[in-house]
Structure 1
Amino acid sequence: MPRRTKILITLGPATDKEGVLTRILGAGVNVVRINFSHGSEEEHLNRVKAVRDWAQANQTYVGVLMDLQGPKIRIAAFKDGMKIQLSNGDAFVLDADLDENSGNKHSVGIAYKKLPQEVQIGNVLLLDDGKIVLEVTSIKDNKINTIVTQGGILSDKKGINLRGGGLSANALTEKDKKDILIAAKAKADYVALSFPVSGDDVRETKQLLEQAGCNAGVISKIERAESLVEDVILDIIKESVGIMVARGDLGVEIGDAQLPAQQKRLIKLARSNNRIVITATQMLESMIISPTPTRAEVFDVANAVLDGTDAVMLSAETAVGDFPENAVKTMHDVCIEAEKNPIAKISHHRLDETFTYIDETIAMSAMYAANHIGARVIATLTESGKTAIWMSRISSGIPIVAMSDKVSTLQKATLYRGVHPCFLSTRKDWAEINKAVIKRLQVGDFVDDGDTVILTKGTYTDKSGGTNLMKILTVGDLEY
């Protein structure tokens, strides 16, 4: 059976090397990520074009997610690019007035100039993803005086996090607004929003995308402690097409010990609200420099799969790593093995709830029927992909084939767990559509003679949300 969990990889210098992109796409990548924190517009657009060209040449679909950088809450730079050694007990100053390239072993500038007004004595500041820990001892004008409680080597432009969250930096920066225009030019399938703290951030992003003529879905990256509050996270989830469990900044803000429980909670919340969920950050971190993963990393990926994540993400492993192809193959193998576990096929999704829409009712009914009659495949004719994503919220070992003649719908479906996008013209006489579906499934090696197929469709074409029919077919019957 095809792999159900999707693999999302980050493009970068390592994938620009000759032949690398072709090999890793062929190894099973479903969606690529463009990181707006690095690279130029030309580089971004060239990478998207290379992916689109490969997908077209191979008659398949690869989604494109473009990741907004978000606010720069960072230190500035040190004089002459020097690195400094901070030791426990050292006094160190974060100075908003200091020239951005004049940092030294006693102080450094900060890119986020409002920081002195937003911290208090006793606050804990974490630099470079928590590698260095500072405790605020006093604040005078634009200087934050701290004492080092966990030392280390500090270099230019490392990130700053406030333990427990609470910084007021806007999720959308002026750079992000310009990058949204690039995403529109690239016809991105998804745009990832960094550091949202409310549904308003998502609503603003959707408005900017609409103004740019871009129909990309918004994936909200959960990175701030304050976004985890129950009513806040529900607002963010419901306004987004999906979320990313961005474990780097989130772990720094809430503490790594809390991450596993929050990851499980976020995956469950997203799925129960019919939204996509991506698990990200350091999944195979050791493979940046090693051809094989650690066993702890294998467990991490497998646990995310068993929890029901739609996709697992590779960042530096593919963007700048030495073994990008190995990383993708490893991710594929771990997902396949995890999906064999019966836990990955058990679902209690919406058993005790009523359905609001007819197409939602058909989607849930089709999944129930398929799981109880041993269907080989579920095929859904879809305009928007909504029926497919509803189906994909139910854990199952049965492939869901989303059939559409809308390329944008099929490219978005690359991120839905268990859903396989497939082009099929629905502009056929309804007497012929069932035969066309079976023929397309046979061409894709999804079915053999005698297999049972469940098909969902609508009475009318070109109508989003119009799925109102379910039919059970047997491959090889003379009449469908």
Structure 2
Amino acid sequence: MTHPDPQLIEQALTAVGALRGSAVEHEERYRGLIDAAHPTHRAGATNLLHYLAVRQRDIRDLQRQLASLGLSSLGRLERCALSSLDAVLRALDALAGRPGTRPPGAYPTSFDSGESTLEDHARALLGEGRPGRQTRVMVTLPGDARKRDLKRLLEAGMDVARINCSKGDAGEWAGLIERLRSASRETGFACRVLCDIAGPNPRVSKIAGGPARVAIPASGGKPQLWLCKDLKELKKARAAARDAGADEVAAVGCTIPEVVDDLRPGHRVFYDDGRLGGTVKLVADGAALVEVDFAREGGVKLKPGKGLNFPDSELGIPPLTPKDLEDLDFIARRADMVGLSFVRAPSDVERLQAELASRGAAHLGLVLKIETTAAFRQLPRLLLTAMRSERVGVMLARGDMAVEMGFVRLAEVQEELLWLCEAALVPAIWATQVLESLNKTGVPTRGEVTDAAMSSRAECVMLNQGENIVATVDFVVDVLQRMHEHQDKKRALMRPLSVSRLD
């Protein structure tokens, strides 16, 4: 009989013990963040700090050693970081012939309590959900949705209704919510309401001069365009940049002119969900000259109202616009939760929390929409700040993230977002273009079916409005119910497989 190598066991004990020490040290170092959290979230805040300490190290070699010893390789410690480390240490003690030498510890979460606490938080924010699936379904509703259509959505499986406050007004939203509440009573299906405030979302305001369509010429040259605080001042900018040969190129204004002040040479600029992208070449007199690096085949037409992204720029703009503050007056009275769009820093979260408290609405659920590079980089701090509120969630707004970070990084980034939310015991919402082809055309693509199956790892999946939205809800509910039998977050569930039989 072959026995484990004692030296390997001792090496693993030392390495796992060091991880445990760093987790405890991290907790003590940031004790103030735990104490500031709402009592409901203190266990999650503590566990998040433990998890972050472990993830600051590269433990891949240690994982291989533990697996070779037949032990947990620490690949699923999100919900219970410290207790998972101690479970491995006790197993290593037993292999080293020293069982029972490690006294049981006090943990913020265990495997069971972490799972149940996360589900408690999901229920508090998103509602009870439906039997047979853990993942709720959220649907973005048009302002003119009819009551009979809302009843069909509820019967198909809608658990949360989303209102996009960048469209419509308070009167329209009030009528929609009234019809939804009535449909909910008549069908017997409860439905929470999320109102997304628009936030400081820079868009194209006006266009002047030059061609309205921008395309990369066959010669391979790079076209240019101006981004201006005020198109009336374009002549000054052109005069200051005459040597750049940019006199006759198109110029666009921005709905938030102040962002131009924060641009620097080398910063990237994206237009219309990344259909066109470029780099700031120079900044002069309230305008930035952008050299276009790529554009969709056939060119991209410049239009007012299209979005602008600035992933490299630290934008010194307030997190809440005057319209947002006005919309919060309505949301505080009528909604169940509020979505904070284009959050960038913990101070943005604090500002929203203060505004809700001033309206007597601190009880509302708070959903952080992670859609910028800045938000992703600050996610742990954003989570810990948001956890001062009683009900908290995170929306993975993957469309803007893909634009800002690149499609190559999207799969990696969405995984990390899910891991950190689970470690914080905060529900996650999987969003942006889920089953978009099915919703618009009635036929899904193979790729988006896989994407829908991946959404079962979140506590909620969001669908956009579309011509086939009821059928899309039916479809995603079927997928979620099937995946519920096979997958729990990162853990595969080994139910019996009919295909496993040979006779």
Class of the TM-score when normalised by the shorter of the 2 chains: 0.5 to 0.7
Question: Which of residues 451, 462, 473 in structure 2 aligns to 1:313?
Answer: 462
Query: Quick one: percent identity of the two aligned structures?
Result: 29
Bigger RCO (CA 8 Å, 6+ sep): 2
The Cα offsets for residues 224-247 of structure 1, whole Å up to 9 and x where unpaired, read as: 212222543443453461111111
User: 1:50, 1:19 → 2: CA distance?
Assistant: 9
Q: Match of 1:132?
A: 276
**Which letter does structure 2 place at the counterpart of 1:91?**
Q
Cα distance in 1 for residues equivalent to 2:455 and 2:350? 28
Equivalent residue number for residue 86 of structure 1: 214
Tell me, yes or no, if the aligned pair for 1:116 and 1:141 is still in contact at 8 Å: no
Counterpart among 297, 322, 328 of residue 473 in structure 2? 328
Q: Give the Å deviation of 1:291.
A: 0.7
Under a length normalisation based on structure 1, what TM-score does the superposition of the two structures give? Answer: 0.66
For residue 203 of structure 2, what is the aligned residue in structure 1? 74
Of residues 171, 183, 199 in structure 1, which corresponds to 2:346? 199
Deviation at 1:31, TM superposition (A): 0.3
Give me the whole-angstrom Cα distance separating, in 2, the residues matched to 1:323 and 1:136: 41
Aligned to 2:337: 190
* Contact preservation (8 Å) 1:65, 1:189: yes
Tell me, yes or no, if the aligned pair for 2:166 and 2:197 is still in contact at 8 Å: yes
2:412 is the counterpart of 1:261? yes
Whole-angstrom distance in 2 between the partners of 1:93 and 1:223: 25
Distance 1:257 1:168, change over 3 A: farther
The question of whether the paired residues in 2 share the 8 Å contact of 1:199 and 1:239 is answered with no
How many residue pairs get matched?
338
For 1:110 and 1:134, how far apart are their aligned partners in 2? Answer: 16
Given the superposition, is the C-alpha separation of residues 2 and 26 from structure 1 closer, same or farther in structure 2, using an over 3 Å criterion? Answer: same
2:230 is aligned, of 85, 94, 97, to 97
2:427 aligned with 1:276: yes
Asked whether 1:9 is paired with 2:139, we answer: yes
Q: Deviations over 1:158-203 (max 9, x none)?
A: 11111345223222111111111111221x1110001122222222
- Alignment partner of 1:116 is 2:257: no
Aligned partner of 2:250 among 88, 106, 115? 106
CA spacing shift, 1:37–1:396, aligned 2, 3 Å: farther
Identify if the C-alpha distance between structure 1 residues 235 and 396 changes in structure 2 by more than 3 Å, giving closer, same or farther: farther
Q: Which residue of 2 aligns with 1:458?
A: none
Name the CA distance, whole Å, in 2 between partners of 1:200 and 1:56: 39
Q: How does 1:32-181 map to 2 (within 5 A)?
A: 32-78=161-207, 84-88=212-216, 89-98=222-231, 106-151=250-295, 152-181=300-329
Q: Give the letter for the 2:228 counterpart.
A: D
Return the alpha-carbon distance in structure 1 between the equivalents of residues 349 and 279 of structure 2: 33
**Deviations for 1:44-99, whole angstroms, at most 9, x for unmatched residues?**
0111111111112223310011101000311213479x992101222211121116
Aligned with residue 158 of structure 2, among 24, 29, 38: 29
Q: What does residue range 432-443 of structure 1 map to in structure 2 within 5 Å? A: none
Task: Pick the structure with more helix per residue.
Answer: 2
Whose radius of gyration is greater, 1 or 2?
Answer: 2
Matches within 5 A, 1:353-364: none
Distance in 1, Cα, partners of 2:385 & 2:436: 28
CA distance in 1, matches of 2:138, 2:385: 22
94 and 344 in structure 1: CA distance in 2 versus 1, 3 angstrom threshold: closer
Q: Which residue does 2:397 correspond to in 1? A: 246
Contact 1:83 1:156 in 2 (8 A): no
SS in 2 for 1:248: helix
**CA–CA separation in structure 2 for the residues paired with 1:69 and 1:275:** 23
| Consecutive unaligned residues in structure 1, runs of 5 or more | 348-394, 398-480
Does the CA contact (< 8 Å) of 1:193 and 1:220 recur in 2?
Answer: yes
**How many Å separate the matches in 2 of 1:337 and 1:30?**
18
Distance (whole Å) between structure 1 residues aligned to residue 358 and residue 386 of structure 2: 22
CA distance in 1, matches of 2:249, 2:435: 34
Q: Partners of 2:483 and 2:254 in 1: how far apart?
A: 44
What's the CA shift for 1:155?
1.2
Q: Structure 1: how far apart are the matches of 2:373 and 2:385?
A: 13
Structure 2 equivalent of residue 472 of structure 1: none
Report 1:315-394 matches (<5 A).
315=464, 318=465, 321-343=466-488, 346=491
Q: Flag the 1:109–1:194 CA change in 2: closer, same or farther, 3 A.
A: same
1:208 aligned residue = 355
Given that 1:85 and 1:105 are in contact with CA atoms closer than 8 Å, whether structure 2 keeps it comes out as no
Distance 1:11 1:111 in 2: 25
Amino acid at match of 2:181: R
Which deviates further from its counterpart, 159-168 or 329-338?
A: 159-168
Equivalent-residue separation in structure 1 for 2:162 and 2:140 (angstroms):
4
Provide the TM-score with structure 2 as the length reference.
Answer: 0.63
What is residue 377 of structure 2 aligned with on the other side?
A: 229
Could you give the per-residue CA deviations for residues 246-279 of structure 1, whole angstroms, max 9, x where no partner exists?
A: 1122221111211111111111211221211101
Q: Give, as a single letter, the amino acid of the residue that structure 2 aligns with 1:206.
A: Q
Preserved contact between residue 198 and residue 235 of structure 1 (Cα < 8 Å): no
User: Which is richer in strand?
Assistant: 1
Shift of 1:339: 1.4
